[in-house]
Structure 1
Amino acid sequence: MENKNALERKSGLTIGPDEDISFGQSIILGLQHVLAMDVYVPPFIIATSLALSSSHASGLIQATFLGAGLATLVQVLLFMKLPVCQGPSFVPIGAVIGIYVGANGMGSVLGACLVGAIAVTLFGCLGIFQWIVKTFIPPLVSGTIIMIVGLTLLPSALNSNIYAVTKGGPSLAQNIILALITGAVLIFCSMLGDYLPKYGRFFRISSVIIALAVGCIVASFMGVLSLDQVAKAPIFSLPYISFIHYHLTFSWSAIFTMLIIYIVLLAETTGTWFAVSSVIEEPLSDKQINRGVIGEGVGCLLAALVGTTPVTGYSTNAGVISITGVASRKVFVFAGFWFIALSFIGKLSALINAVPAAVIGGVFAVVCIIIMLSGFRVIKDHQFSEREMYVVGVPLIFAMALLFIPAKATAQLPQFLKFLFDSPISVGALVAILMNKVIPAKNN
């Protein structure tokens, strides 16, 4: 046990994946992962884009929380067993909107999601994915993918949270101030635990939730924190469930599109697994990767059954673990229970949604940089020649280019390519894999 704890201290963790943690701490730390994940954003984008009614939009958001909770428990307790939460992926958003409009409703979307999830589960059961990872995703490629994840999420933290100004909400200046204060408190609490391990441990492991609380207090003094929706929200409400609220239909074109999306999704979630593995300094085994693919399929299947879009592991968790030093799986089990509770308790969901976007953005921006640097840590010991610079650099160019590509540039492309280009992470990952195979390595 002493050797194990020494290793964990060396890796920067205060609590390792297999270590126990008190019930009270697990509840609080699980909640801070939930608060840092922005889980409501994908269903909110879908609901807004499709002009869904308020009850339909609320039902979709609540179903997303329920799906995330069930998928998290499945992965943490039964399959991947990594300290990571599952949440709605941003990858399928374009496909979901396209299928909804072109195939008459959410029933077609969820039907395609069900078939795709079953296919992913079978894919994992066949044991092929571990060979793919070993052959095509060595540390140089996996580190590059992790860097792409952090780098491509950062504009979302800035544009969608900090720089986004809504009517009746905080001004741009107020948003920037809130983000700076929240980010500064997060860094201060984290470093306090690093420099004063005996007295600052509490501040480090609770740094995210402390930063969010301080940000909300400042927002309240600014007069930009509104709790009106919390007061109006019902204490108890039900999410929209597949077989109750939707009539499932199965369209071949929708299924084919979603199968492509799931392949892209696996590339995204692989980057997350490597990011978390890098932070906790525990290499992934072939068996663990295979079980993770099965868990991804089962989690997506459960998500479709409860009425929401595909879920995936969130790289945000890797950043939060790096900041807090807490990687106990028990925390992530409680995060799963938080998600499930939020899916039925209307006031709790409304309270999380009431946190100003800029406050979340201040935390999210720091977390994105931590993720990116975790990828750099994976590749920093690699012997770099001009080849390695291109293998790492070109995928970063592609990922950033797709972030800012004009909509008219992809307007004439086939639909499945449009869906693919909506995910800079996936394209960047595919380019990294291709570059590593196309450019031959020198023999020493």
Structure 2
Amino acid sequence: MSGGDDDFEEVEKDFSPEGPGAEPEAEASIDVEYGIEDKPPLGESILLGFQHYLTMIGASVAIPLALAGEMGMPGGATARLIGTFFVVSGIATLAQTTVGNRYPIVQGGTFSMLAPALAIIGVLASSGAGWQLMIRELTGAVIVAGLVEVLVGYFGVMGWLKRYMGPVVIAPVIALIGLALFNVPQIQNPNFGAPGTGQNWWLLGLTMVLIIVFSQYLDRYHRSFRLFPVLLGIASAWIIAAVLSVVGVFPEGSVSYVALDSVTEAPLFQPIYPFQWGLPLFTPGFIVGMVAGMLASAIESFGDYHSVARMAGRGAPNARRINHGIGMEGLGNTFAGVMGTGNGSTSYTENVGAIGITGVASRYVVQIGAAVMIVVGYFGPVGQLFATIPAPIIGGLYVVMFGQITAVGLSQLKYVDLDANRNVFIVGFALFAGLAIPGYMSNVGAGMDASASAAFQQGLAAVPILGPVLGTDVVATTIFVIGGTGMAVGGIVAFFLDNTIPGTREERGLTAWEDLTEDDSDFESFWDRRKEDTEATQSAD
């Protein structure tokens, strides 16, 4: 998909504060090497784009593997599902960067919609359904959730809410995006201690140290360390792991093993096309659960947009840009359903972290990376090579990136009066609730035969008077999914308190926020640009 030649227009590099990709009134949280409008040389852009996608390989592989494992998918179908995630990610990213909000932000599978997907699979598994039926049910639920998000975006719901969401709300939301992911399997392996499967902390630590050394210590000595710390760190750790796997130090099946033979055995081409698993099925209870996951994802994306703008040295996104971004994410979700991922499409927090580490916020770079991902999805060996990256290496990358995202979120508080007790209370309470409530949700039903969502529904059904309403599939699933998503919990808590506890607009940071928000004229939609081009052509004739 293309927004025209102007989307890829060559922009001369300018490192001055007033140069491309920077606004005088906006403060960048980092030194921006390439701004949003900058276009590095093609060879450099390919490597930078490849690096952007390396940061989200963990999620792009982990989500389909989790779905395939729960559904009992055979090996060939699992490989094609992973390839489908790559293709959808590439196409959705091109659409978002050219037609959507035009931020340099990668689109891909979302953990927020993984929770309801696993709940749906659990319900179907209890009735003896096969994986073909499960993926068709997931497909239908994702398609409807995407269409709902299209309405939320293009009818301006998120943009309207922006006027009530200042730094006191955005800071905990962004911080929780990073903090809520401290316990992902790549960092805290749940099988720690099991023979051959426990976490390899030295490999994780090696990756983490390499990225830190390249990005924070050696960056001043050579530009390559500044631009490619993630690529260099992951590649170095992977080579070491591959060598140790070949010589037998890492046994086959261990968490650190690099299965090089899987690359040569992968099919050269794998077919990926719409409705490849069959026509979608639409079950109301499943749809509501997926919509709840989508809403949590939209809140996360709202925070991601502000985080990207901050890192790129731009003013906070205006309402129009937010609406177009959320609307395009809805189209991306619908497309993901049509292609059969069984999961949605959203802004990748990992990509935001990569911008913070490298200072590369170029839209062109992300588009190049998106094109690479589309190719990777259809050619099995290349995609399988990505999949050989051991989980500890991904974990080391996550430790660095998610910490950066957390700090960017907290940096929003510079616009807030932290001497005002109401602000300190709101931020602290929202952060704690955003960690504690999802932690509780994950432990519901521990020791019971029922799944966490089923046990939670049983508990709500037992509530006096309100039980018949709270215990329904629709209500229970919605509360469970949103309550299990940290940034959604923190955002809702902060939003309610910030708009009900008395405080001046200056105290809340809303005045400073308005001054930093980009003008409406700073964002031109795809259709605005096409209209201008048409009018210019007609005038010339």
Q: Same fold (TM over 0.5)?
A: yes
| 2:105 is equivalent to residue 76 of structure 1 | no
SS at match of 2:270: coil
Q: CA deviation at 1:24?
A: 0.9
Q: What pairs with 1:340-419 in structure 2 (closer than 5 Å)?
A: 340-384=374-418, 385-405=420-440, 406-408=443-445, 411-413=455-457, 414-419=476-481
Q: Deviations over 1:116-136 (max 9, x none)?
A: 21222122222232111222x
| 2:121 is equivalent to residue 89 of structure 1 | no
Question: Aligned partners of 1:57, 1:325: CA distance in 2, in Å?
Answer: 35
Q: CA deviation at 1:164?
A: 5.2
| 2:180 is equivalent to residue 152 of structure 1 | yes
Q: Deviations over 1:15-69 (max 9, x none)?
A: 1111111111111111111111121111111111222222222222211111111
Question: Aligned partners of 1:375, 1:85: CA distance in 2, in Å?
Answer: 19
SS at match of 1:380: helix
SS at match of 2:108: strand
Q: Deviations over 1:409-438 (max 9, x none)?
A: 752332222222332222222112122123
- Do 1:73 and 1:336's aligned partners in 2 also have CA atoms closer than 8 Å? yes
Corresponding residue for 1:22? 41
Letter in 2 for 1:404: G
| 2:204 is equivalent to residue 179 of structure 1 | yes
Q: CA deviation at 1:166?
A: 6.8
Q: Which one has a bigger Cα radius of gyration?
A: 2
Question: Aligned partners of 1:205, 1:342: CA distance in 2, in Å?
Answer: 23
RMSD: 2.3
My pick for the range that moved more, 221-230 or 183-192, is 221-230
Question: Aligned partners of 2:432, 2:87: CA distance in 1, in Å?
Answer: 36
Letter in 1 for 2:205: L
| 2:140 is equivalent to residue 111 of structure 1 | yes
Letter in 1 for 2:216: M
Q: What pairs with 1:173-322 in structure 2 (closer than 5 Å)?
A: 175-192=200-217, 194=219, 196=220, 199-223=221-245, 224=250, 225-239=258-272, 241-282=273-314, 283-308=316-341, 309-322=343-356
Q: Which has the higher contact order (CA 8 A, sep 6+)?
A: 1
Q: Under a length normalisation based on structure 2, what TM-score does the superposition of the two structures give?
A: 0.76
SS at match of 1:412: helix
Task: Say if 1:423 and 1:242 are closer, same or farther in 2 by CA, change over 3 A.
Answer: farther
| 2:19 is equivalent to residue 5 of structure 1 | yes
Letter in 1 for 2:428: G
Question: Aligned partners of 1:14, 1:193: CA distance in 2, in Å?
Answer: 15
- Do 1:319 and 1:368's aligned partners in 2 also have CA atoms closer than 8 Å? yes
Q: Deviations over 1:270-328 (max 9, x none)?
A: 11111111211212122111111111111111111111111110111221111111111
SS at match of 2:180: helix
Task: Say if 1:270 and 1:55 are closer, same or farther in 2 by CA, change over 3 A.
Answer: same
My pick for the range that moved more, 82-91 or 413-422, is 413-422
Corresponding residue for 1:323? 357
Q: CA deviation at 1:150?
A: 0.9
Question: Aligned partners of 1:181, 1:97: CA distance in 2, in Å?
Answer: 33
Per residue, is there more helix in 1 or in 2? 1
Q: How many residues align?
A: 436
Q: What pairs with 1:26-45 in structure 2 (closer than 5 Å)?
A: 26-37=45-56, 38=58, 39-45=60-66
Corresponding residue for 2:366? 332
Q: CA deviation at 1:157?
A: 6.3
Corresponding residue for 2:11? none
List 4+ stretches of structure 1 deviating above 4 A.
6-11, 160-169
Question: Aligned partners of 1:212, 1:258: CA distance in 2, in Å?
Answer: 34
Letter in 1 for 2:276: I
Letter in 1 for 2:345: V
Question: Aligned partners of 2:415, 2:259: CA distance in 1, in Å?
Answer: 48
| 5+ long unaligned stretches in structure 1 | none
Q: Deviations over 1:203-260 (max 9, x none)?
A: 1111100000111122234333331211211222123x44232221222222233222
Question: Aligned partners of 1:29, 1:165: CA distance in 2, in Å?
Answer: 37
Q: Under a length normalisation based on structure 1, what TM-score does the superposition of the two structures give?
A: 0.92
| 5+ long unaligned stretches in structure 2 | 1-13, 125-132, 251-257, 447-451, 458-475, 508-541
Letter in 2 for 1:380: K
Question: Aligned partners of 1:164, 1:290: CA distance in 2, in Å?
Answer: 43
- Do 1:236 and 1:346's aligned partners in 2 also have CA atoms closer than 8 Å? yes
- Do 1:275 and 1:315's aligned partners in 2 also have CA atoms closer than 8 Å? no
